Amino acid sequence: MASRDADEPRAAATGLVVLDGHSTCVDDVVRLAHGSARPVPAADGMKRVEESWDAARRIAATGRVYGRSTGVGANRNEDVPTEAAAEHGLRLLRSHAGAIGDELPARQVRAMLAVRANQLLAGGAGLRPTVVTALCEALETGAYPVVNEFGSVGTGDIAALAQLGLALAGEHPWRGADAPTGVR
């Protein structure tokens, strides 16, 4: 996350944090995590998300894409049969959501939601725009998925993000408020 100049006017006075994929600062993430500000996805960020989603669909329609039309890791050379493609992403989330330990506090999980929403608004992830909308809705309502303390070996956020993905898909519990809508 880039820092801002101290003199730059901030959305703090209005209780809004504009997530744009580029300029969100630590203070903004903290305010979102504490629920003292409301997230607003920037229009140009949402445009990047939509363009990325469209590009990902076009690329996947023309050939093999790691993790989308193939397995991952040791299964990277295995094609996903066309009839299984629709459920492939959900199976990947299920296989990576093996976290254990205590549930993380709401504040930490909400900070993860804010950072992930902002990352997605930079464009390039190829996810449906409704994922960003659902993350912002969760931040606004106070909802957060159950995320356990200890996750995977290697890439440390795989289990936490898989738990988030399963919560968005309706297969993992939420705390704090009603689950966001529109992703399932």
CATH assignment of the domain containing 148: 1.10.275.10
7 compared with 162, residue with greater pLDDT: 162
Residue 146 lies inside a defined structural domain of this protein: yes
pLDDT at 133 (0 to 100): 96
Residue 16 lies inside a defined structural domain of this protein: yes
Residue 69 lies inside a defined structural domain of this protein: no
> The domain containing residue 156 runs over which residues?
11-56+85-175
Token code pair at residue 182: 């529109």
Residue 164 lies inside a defined structural domain of this protein: yes
Give the C-alpha separation, 140 to 179, whole Å: 11
Cβ-based neighbours of 6, under 8 Å, separated by 6 or more: none
Helix, strand, coil fractions of the chain, as percent rounded to 5: 50, 10, 40
Q: Which of 2-6, 20-24, 103-107 has the lowest mean pLDDT?
A: 2-6
pLDDT at 184 (0 to 100): 52
Count, residues in the chain: 184
Residue 126 lies inside a defined structural domain of this protein: yes
Q: Which of 2-6, 35-39, 133-137, 171-175 has the lowest mean pLDDT?
A: 2-6
Put residue 160 in one of left, alpha, beta given phi > 0 → left and psi -120 to 50 → alpha: alpha
Residue 155 lies inside a defined structural domain of this protein: yes
Residue 115 lies inside a defined structural domain of this protein: yes
> Across the chain, what does the average pLDDT equal?
86
Residue 71 lies inside a defined structural domain of this protein: no
Highest mean pLDDT among 53-62, 89-98, 112-121: 112-121
Q: 13 pLDDT exceeds 80?
A: no
Tell me the pLDDT tens digit for each residue of 112-162.
999 999 999 999 999 999 999 999 999 999 999 999 988 765 556 788 888
The domain tally of the chain equals: 1
- In the block, tokens 């076009």 appear at 58
Put residue 5 in one of left, alpha, beta given phi > 0 → left and psi -120 to 50 → alpha: beta
